[in-house]
Structure 1
């Protein structure tokens, strides 16, 4: 007869009300995340505006800047700042008439609204002589070449060639210049505009990252060491503000029962995307954005669906409990499979043997990893190669090789890795706690991630068609 008393060592099952509450929290969180993420742009790498500036000094005191600005951004934010609604409307009609093919766009709309284009850009991108580290009055500047439409990572950009005449302030010796940007402050959704400056003037050369709102200027004599922090932060921001990379990382965390699992998967992802990131940024590898963006979205869905399948198979075979352990007939969690005694123990030994026989062939262990684990690592590595191309496309550098450029790319990549480790350190312990309370939480979170990934995949296919 049962007295209603529990064995002191028995683990109490969560009350139905608690289980319902936790399930509700998980479901609500999943829906909220999916709504927020699907509201993001289809190409999640364009999480904030990026402007590219190639700065040179063809003559002493004459500073030339080749400035590339996203065409649509200039025709919306720029046009609105100048109160030129016709510019915005005509640019929109131009994009529609091109069939959304950037190769078919022409600078005709820019030519028709040159006053607005130059009225917005010239006062907001300036060059001055830095005297004793302090800026002087901005040098007079002007557009000196016809407008062009150029393609960067599949996105049309308006190209302006601007010359700043600083000859009146420059003596015979090379002088440092201060480059300042006020272009597109507080641009949504990331709330920032990054200007990548690749400069080679008589007082110095290098690559710098400016932020319109927080770090809008630089001096050309600043050494490379002081630029390290800028690209480190830029890399971290890209991962933390890029919802597709975060979702992919979340999918990896969901399927990792132990810390070693996620570390190994993250390492495979890091090695893969680091290789293609450097190669793509240096122009060695080039894959169109209409292929890269849907592939990244598909990688999120595939990894999440993979984890859903693993959860279902584990529950069906009984080979995985709340923490990846066997759950014998008594319902009391035991140790991992290799710790279970196969002699003695009566019914427990029989149950263990049955589960070994019922386990799929892919569960065969090789050096501590099942064939399924090794296959998962291979899949993660393959998708990491595509994510690396996406990282490079987001940075958007399209310049000849230089050691300064390579250094900037490496530091940017380190920033990505530090942000990735931070996410793992915060999310993995929380997920372990949630999984102990509600073992099925991983399955449903993976389902939400898979749904968002599939939605993005279809959306990006349509956008690139």
Structure 2
């Protein structure tokens, strides 16, 4: 085996190992939480409706305010699974909860901080099966300046959250739109330039695919299972069209499928697409159809594969929308924000195909046997991971 082929094999193996390592590191060093904030103008003043992961809020507020009773009662209510009991805990310790939230979620006008007071009692909701506390705040802001929002909600000293993405929707000061904040970009002004707003969502989409190991493995299974440039282009196009449609429909609230259904199917899709390639490899050479047959160079099996990819792409789009989690009224600004988020996903997807498939093409041309071995091993590993995730997600739902 030549040195170039050995380098190609090593590169492919390292890529797969890096994906597996990144998934393990995410579990070992914490996860990224998602918070949601809706800002509306009510009686001439901003009102924010915050949705925060209940367990994180209880632990962080109890620690910040030295409220041992909040920690004991809050964790007990979390373990009991009673949303009414959880809301009662938040109301009982409303002062500690409000002080924690308003110390990290801030509004200002013209550079002067706004002051907040609770509006009504706390309530509970769920996001992708996770209990979320709903905290509503009314703000008093000085006149004469554009409204600015700053969020540093989580991580705190709980040690298992590495960052929080705060998805903001707003209708205030005659402006409406959405924003995405995190530790690297904690602030925004409602009157900021359009390119800053769209840049946030492009970055958010790119980061979502880069950190979404299940979506990346699905793409990797598509790449190693494609026998030529035509197949990989058609497969990637089908996947893109499908997930773009359902992502926009779900993000706009026109389609609603529970995460308990979506997440196991996404995991299963990884195993199915990887297993398809293993089935192809196992077929005798004289029974493998030619790539050049049929319309667009695909035979019946090729078209069936594209149909399967398209169907699974529809489900992945629901997963993308669930991760973004915007729940806002229709507007052209919202539509453009969603489209730019999707463009960020596509940019990473195209980069992955452009970096990986040429390596496989070189390997298949120089050492077909080694290529079959490598793609088979990659597909087998991906299929196993997909089946494991599917089982985990079913048992956790």
Aligned counterpart in structure 2 of residue 177 of structure 1, from 123, 147, 152:
147
1:107 aligns with 2:87: yes
- Report the alpha carbon displacement of residue 119 of structure 1 after superposing the two structures with TM: 2.2
Q: Partner residue of 1:249?
A: 219
Q: Partner residue of 1:220?
A: 190
Given that 2:154 and 2:161 are in contact with CA atoms closer than 8 Å, whether structure 1 keeps it comes out as no
1:366 aligns with 2:294: yes
Structure 2: distance between partners of 1:409 and 1:387: 15
Q: Partner residue of 2:104?
A: 124
Aligned counterpart in structure 2 of residue 66 of structure 1, from 39, 45, 49:
49
Q: Partner residue of 2:254?
A: 284
How does 1:65-464 map onto structure 2 within 5 Å?
Answer: 65-84=48-67, 86-98=69-81, 106-130=86-110, 135-136=111-112, 138-166=113-141, 169-170=142-143, 175-185=145-155, 191-211=162-182, 213-313=183-283, 316-317=284-285, 358-360=286-288, 365-367=293-295, 368-434=297-363, 436-437=366-367, 438-439=370-371, 440-464=373-397
Given that 1:190 and 1:241 are in contact with CA atoms closer than 8 Å, whether structure 2 keeps it comes out as no
**For the structure 1 residues 141 and 309, does the alpha-carbon distance in structure 2 shift closer, same or farther, using more than 3 Å as the test?**
same
Structure 1: distance between partners of 2:51 and 2:181: 15
State TM-score, norm by structure 2: 0.88
- Report the alpha carbon displacement of residue 304 of structure 1 after superposing the two structures with TM: 0.7
Given that 1:363 and 1:372 are in contact with CA atoms closer than 8 Å, whether structure 2 keeps it comes out as no
Structure 1: distance between partners of 2:83 and 2:326: 19
For structure 1, the 5+ residue unaligned runs are: 1-12, 318-357
- Report the alpha carbon displacement of residue 165 of structure 1 after superposing the two structures with TM: 0.8
Structure 2: distance between partners of 1:189 and 1:232: 27
Structure 2: distance between partners of 1:24 and 1:426: 14
1:49 aligns with 2:20: no
**For the structure 1 residues 25 and 261, does the alpha-carbon distance in structure 2 shift closer, same or farther, using more than 3 Å as the test?**
closer
Q: How many residues align?
A: 388
State TM-score, norm by structure 1: 0.76
DSSP-derived class of the 2:153 partner:
coil
- Report the alpha carbon displacement of residue 38 of structure 1 after superposing the two structures with TM: 5.7
Mean Cα displacement is larger for which, 109-118 or 282-291? 109-118
Give deviations 1:301-360, integer Å, cap 9, x for gaps. Answer: 1111111111222xx32xxxxxxxxxxxxxxxxxxxxxxxxxxxxxxxxxxxxxxxx325
- Report the alpha carbon displacement of residue 399 of structure 1 after superposing the two structures with TM: 1.8
For structure 2, the 5+ residue unaligned runs are: none
**For the structure 1 residues 24 and 239, does the alpha-carbon distance in structure 2 shift closer, same or farther, using more than 3 Å as the test?**
closer
Larger Cα-atom Rg = 1
Given that 2:179 and 2:200 are in contact with CA atoms closer than 8 Å, whether structure 1 keeps it comes out as yes
Structure 1: distance between partners of 2:190 and 2:12: 51
Given that 1:52 and 1:196 are in contact with CA atoms closer than 8 Å, whether structure 2 keeps it comes out as yes
- Report the alpha carbon displacement of residue 402 of structure 1 after superposing the two structures with TM: 1.6
Given that 1:194 and 1:209 are in contact with CA atoms closer than 8 Å, whether structure 2 keeps it comes out as yes
**For the structure 1 residues 297 and 196, does the alpha-carbon distance in structure 2 shift closer, same or farther, using more than 3 Å as the test?**
same
Structure 1: distance between partners of 2:15 and 2:350: 23
Structure 2: distance between partners of 1:188 and 1:307: 41
**For the structure 1 residues 194 and 23, does the alpha-carbon distance in structure 2 shift closer, same or farther, using more than 3 Å as the test?**
closer
- Report the alpha carbon displacement of residue 220 of structure 1 after superposing the two structures with TM: 1.8
- Report the alpha carbon displacement of residue 431 of structure 1 after superposing the two structures with TM: 3.4
DSSP-derived class of the 1:107 partner:
helix
Structure 2: distance between partners of 1:152 and 1:289: 9
**For the structure 1 residues 390 and 122, does the alpha-carbon distance in structure 2 shift closer, same or farther, using more than 3 Å as the test?**
same
More helix by share: 2
Given that 1:76 and 1:88 are in contact with CA atoms closer than 8 Å, whether structure 2 keeps it comes out as yes
Mean Cα displacement is larger for which, 22-31 or 196-205? 22-31
Given that 1:127 and 1:139 are in contact with CA atoms closer than 8 Å, whether structure 2 keeps it comes out as yes
- Report the alpha carbon displacement of residue 109 of structure 1 after superposing the two structures with TM: 2.5
